[in-house]
Copies of this chain bind each other. A is one copy, B any other.
Amino acid sequence: MNQKETPLFDALIEYGKKQIYSFHVPGHKDGVTFPERGEARFHEILKIDATEVHGLDDLYDPTDVILSAQELLSDLYKTKKSYFLVNGTTVGNLVMVLSACRPHDKVLVQRNSHKSIFNALKMARVNPVFIAPESGRSGIPIGIKRETVRDALEQHPDAKALILTYPNYYGMAKKDYEEIIRYAKEKGLLVLVDEAHGAHFIMGSPVPKSTLSMGADIVVQSAHKTLPAMTMGSYLHILSQRIDIEKVEEYLERLQTSSPSYPIMASLDLARAHLASIDREKLQSILKDIDAFKLGIMEKGFDCVEEDLADQDPFKVILRADGQGFHLQEALFSAGLYPEMADRDHVLLTLPIGGRFPVKEILPVFEKVFGHFNPNRLVEGVPYDLQSQPMTTPVISYEASERLEKELIPLQQAEGRIAAKMVIPYPPGVPLLLDGERITDDHLDHMKALLDAGARFHGLNGDHSLWVYKMNKTVM
């Protein structure tokens, strides 16, 4: 197949040439009805913000240009079948779990998954066993250990699926996932992977390897995170016969809008062609800029995190800012530099895969910000260690929880209660507290430390109250 082709994008350009006037939705009529204030930004894109008219195919029953575009995607990523998603990796995670798991199935789930995985577990009404990840020297949870998977399968030989996240938010690709996947498959488990941050992991060394080539059964990737797709554009890949395609397509149609955005779909087509266009030589030249940037940062006295446990995505930089992560992020904002995220001890930057990257102009701005910081200052206290509980299960099942009443209580009264809503520091969107999890002193200490350091939360109200199940204590 010719990976230079972009059949869906091309069809939209044709559509624009052929149509005299739009007598269909959307209401902006290819942009002729639009507030003047938005003209400059929206004018060109609205010309291709079309709908399922003649020649533009149908995402949920593709036979023409969308089919061709998805086949090119499948060809590049070497999958059995691949899909464009317009509701982000969120919908991919929901569909992956709902189509692969049945109610009451026991499933092993990486504890530091994105909230959408936990929402999927609840919707699928499965019985999860959470497996805690191992943290590195930096304190960042990297990924699960093969030993933990082995222990989990010895204790739960009836598990049906293993749900992994790879790489983590920081681009760390734990080295033993290939072995973990092989082991899980030997034991007959389905392997489902949230590879949101790894849509470019088919590029080859030094970019880490994708789980697509490690034997995963189904994989979701955010094309908008590392590739040049519009936000909300993601890919879903099916790798094995063990995935029920009929069910996948039923859930995709159910959970995504019946009016998918053509600009998002076209950007997924273009992003795939962009990735395909980067050969070894081009990759080397892109990495030269990236390396120059990293070197420049380090010369200013800031360390970048390197972990032995993982292969690291070269397109991510993790600045060490011990205890001052959120403050460094604020300082960068003020200077016109918007990082991807901060945690207490780090600031994460994502770097471009191709395109203009004016390293020499940008480095002096970092230097100016760095001047106000005392880098690599050691802080007291270790961040919350998820490995203290390597394997956990919810205190109450998802089905039981649906019948329970909830109440809002202050944080300081929460110890010992059962959380009724996830509490999620955002980003990265990995829940600190899960729905159905008993709240411990450890959780509360960690939450307070994050609040003190300046973190933002979903599921924790402005007055620091949170939702717990209302219940007779004797029930527990």
Contacts and interface: CB of A to CB of B under 8 A. Distances in A.
Contact of A338 (B19, B274, B352, B429): B19
A458 B253 contact: yes
A380 interface: no
Nearest to A286: B33
Interface in A20-64: 20-29, 32-35, 37-38, 40-54, 58, 60-61
Given A262-B231, A337-B20, A226 B27 contact: yes
A311 to B, nearest CB: 19
A363 to B, nearest CB: 11
Given A26-B231, A229-B27, A350-B27, A60 B222 contact: no
A92 B163 CA distance: 29
Contacts of A43: 44
Copies in the assembly, this chain: 2
Nearest to A6: B37
Contact of A29 (B9, B253, B352): B352
Given A19-B336, A37-B9, A338-B19, A352 B231 contact: no
A64 to B, nearest CB: 12
A351 B25 CA distance: 9
A227 interface: yes
A116 interface: yes
A26 B224 contact: yes
A451 interface: no
A211 interface: no
Interface string A430-468: 000000000000000000000000001010000000000
B9 A230 contact: no
Contacts of A90: 256-259
Interface hub of A91, A230, A421 (most chain B Cβ within 10 A): A230
Contacts of A61: 426, 456, 458
A38 B9 contact: yes
Interface stretch (A127-135, A139-147, A265-273, A299-307): A265-273
Interface stretch (A81-89, A149-157, A202-210): A81-89
Nearest to A356: B32
A73 to B, nearest CB: 15
Contact of A274 (B34, B352, B427, B458): B34
A167 interface: no
Interface residues of A, number: 114
Contacts of A358: 21
B232 A261 contact: yes
Contact of A230 (B6, B263, B365): B263
Contacts of A35: 6, 228, 270-271, 273-274, 277
Contacts of A225: 25-27
Contacts of A22: 338
A389 B273 CA distance: 52
A88 B47 contact: no
Interface in A337-367: 337-341, 349-358, 361-362, 365
A473 interface: no
A232 B258 contact: no
A23 B458 contact: no
Contacts of A40: 44
25 contacts: A9-B37, A12-B41, A20-B362, A25-B231, A25-B340, A26-B224, A27-B353, A32-B356, A40-B44, A41-B44, A41-B47, A42-B267, A49-B230, A54-B333, A87-B256, A88-B258, A89-B257, A94-B255, A114-B258, A116-B254, A222-B259, A230-B263, A231-B259, A231-B261, A232-B264
Query: 4 closest A-B pairs (Cβ-Cβ)?
Result: A88-B257, A33-B355, A28-B228, A23-B349
Given A34-B355, A40-B44, A231-B260, 20 more contacts: A20-B336, A20-B362, A21-B358, A22-B338, A24-B338, A25-B225, A28-B228, A28-B230, A29-B228, A33-B352, A33-B353, A41-B48, A42-B44, A61-B426, A61-B458, A88-B258, A114-B258, A115-B258, A231-B259, A232-B264
